Structures are given as structure tokens and as C-alpha cells.
């Protein structure tokens, strides 16, 4: 026998309060994909000390309902990142933070090649409708002034040509600071990551604002 409308309505009223909060919370969570190399993946760090983990904690402390996906791959150049981008997007992020280029610089790859790879990557993210933060890099100074000048300039140029939130130097305040890096002098330690998170946080919040705004309201 089918339940009477009165019984069905009562059952629904009892069940809905249990289901709606979970569904609403899941729908309201912004998925931020941190996409990059070992600086994102967390070379030499415990999982809770990595950039994605510390960034997620900091954002949640500031009241944001956000999940930060660790899409870092140690050793990635910009070419490597571009090659695996579509695979990474299967995680269905709402916004993306791009941290690539450090390995291009360490290997002395042609800045033109780096710029071409990042242009293709940023274009792909634009086509997918994903608000993006681009973190810049600086070249190692032992490669000469001409190389450093050309490499350093490509990131601001990319920011001018693409609708990204731009953070000029991911390792700002941490590079060349022994107390904030592992023994290799290249990768940040847990304290170094905390410094990066503190400095980049306002830019990440701007990125989240873009995700919450209608496309025609973004600038």
C-alpha cells in the first residue's frame, strides 16, 4: 500500500534536515587547484606542511569554505605542466593557481619557450572558464644578466595579455633566506611555506572573489 500523503510529507520533513546541510556544504565549497612543480607538491615536507595544506588552513581560518587540491609534480617544467594539464583538470577545480617556471630557469631553458608553454596553458584555462592566479618566477642570477632580464620579464608580460590575478614572485621573502629553506637552498621548509602563504594570501582572496562574481563583473 502506498503511504498516505500525510505520512509521506512527515517522512520527508524528517529526512530533509539530515540531507540538506551536507549537500549545501558540498555545493558551497570552492575547489582551488594549486598546479605546479615541487614548490607546490612539497618536496622534502610532511603533507601538512606543503603549500596547498598551509594555504587551505589559512583560507579556512579567514572564513573561506575552500578545498585546495595539491596538483604539484616535482621536476615539472612548463612543458611538463602543459602536457598534464587536461589530466589535472579532471579534478574539476573552480579556480587555479599556477606555479611553474622555476625548473625552466634552473635548466637554462629558452625564455621564449617558457613563455610559449605558459601562454598555451593560460589560454586553456581561459577556455575552460577557470579564474586563474599566475605566480611569477625569477631566473637564477648565475645564468647571466641578459638571460635573467628576458626570463623575469616574461611573467609580467603574460599577466598583461591574460585575465589573471598576478603575484610577481612566488618565493618573495623566502628565496636566498637560509632559515626559510631546506638544505638545498632551493626548496622552502615549513616556515618558508608559511611565509609564502602569508604574502600570497591577499592575491588568492582576490582569485576567490573572481570565482564568486559573475563573469561580466570580473576585472
Radius of gyration (Cα) for the chain, nearest Å?
21
Is 86 among the catalytic positions?
A: no
**Secondary-structure breakdown of the chain: helix, strand, coil percentages, each rounded to the nearest 5:** 60, 15, 30
3 state DSSP class of 170: coil
Is 187 among the catalytic positions?
A: yes
Instruction: Please give the biggest Cα pair distance in the chain.
Output: 84
Nearest to 77 by CA among 37, 43, 29: 37
Is 162 among the catalytic positions?
A: no
Q: What count of Cα atoms within 13 Å lies in the side-chain half-sphere of residue 13?
A: 6
Report how far residue 140's alpha carbon sits from residue 114's, in angstroms, rounded to the nearest whole number.
15
CB 66 within 8 A of CB 28: no
Which residue among 46, 47, 184, 219 is the active-site one?
184
Residues 6+ apart with CB under 8 A from 201: 55, 58, 59, 62
Which residue among 41, 94, 104, 187 is the active-site one?
187
Which residue among 37, 38, 53, 94 is the active-site one?
38
Query: Which whole-number Å values give the CA distances from 143 to 58, 138, 140, 171, in the listed order?
Result: 36, 11, 6, 18
CB 214 within 8 A of CB 75: no
Catalytic residue numbers?
Answer: 38, 184, 187
Amino acid at each position: 500500500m502506498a503511504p498516505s500523503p500525510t505520512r509521506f510529507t512527515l517522512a520527508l520533513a524528517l529526512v530533509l534536515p539530515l540531507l540538506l546541510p551536507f549537500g549545501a556544504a558540498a555545493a558551497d565549497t570552492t575547489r582551488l587547484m594549486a598546479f605546479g612543480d615541487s614548490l607546490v607538491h612539497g618536496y622534502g615536507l610532511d603533507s601538512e606542511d606543503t603549500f596547498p595544506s598551509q594555504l587551505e588552513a589559512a583560507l579556512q581560518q579567514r572564513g573561506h569554505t575552500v578545498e585546495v587540491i595539491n596538483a604539484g609534480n616535482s621536476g615539472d617544467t612548463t612543458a611538463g605542466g602543459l602536457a598534464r594539464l587536461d589530466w589535472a583538470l579532471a579534478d574539476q577545480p573552480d579556480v587555479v593557481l599556477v606555479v611553474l617556471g622555476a625548473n625552466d630557469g634552473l635548466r637554462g631553458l629558452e625564455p621564449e619557450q617558457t613563455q610559449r608553454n605558459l601562454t598555451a596553458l593560460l589560454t586553456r584555462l581561459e577556455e575552460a572558464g577557470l579564474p586563474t592566479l599566475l605566480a611569477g618566477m625569477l631566473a637564477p642570477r648565475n645564468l647571466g644578466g641578459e638571460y635573467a632580464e628576458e626570463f623575469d620579464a616574461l611573467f609580467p608580460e603574460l599577466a598583461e595579455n591574460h585575465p589573471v590575478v598576478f603575484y610577481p614572485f612566488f618565493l618573495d621573502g623566502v628565496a636566498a633566506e637560509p632559515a626559510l629553506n631546506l638544505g638545498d637552498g632551493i626548496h622552502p621548509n615549513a616556515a618558508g611555506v608559511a611565509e609564502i602563504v602569508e604574502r600570497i594570501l591577499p592575491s588568492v582572496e582576490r582569485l576567490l572573489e573572481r570565482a564568486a562574481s559573475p563573469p561580466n563583473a570580473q576585472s
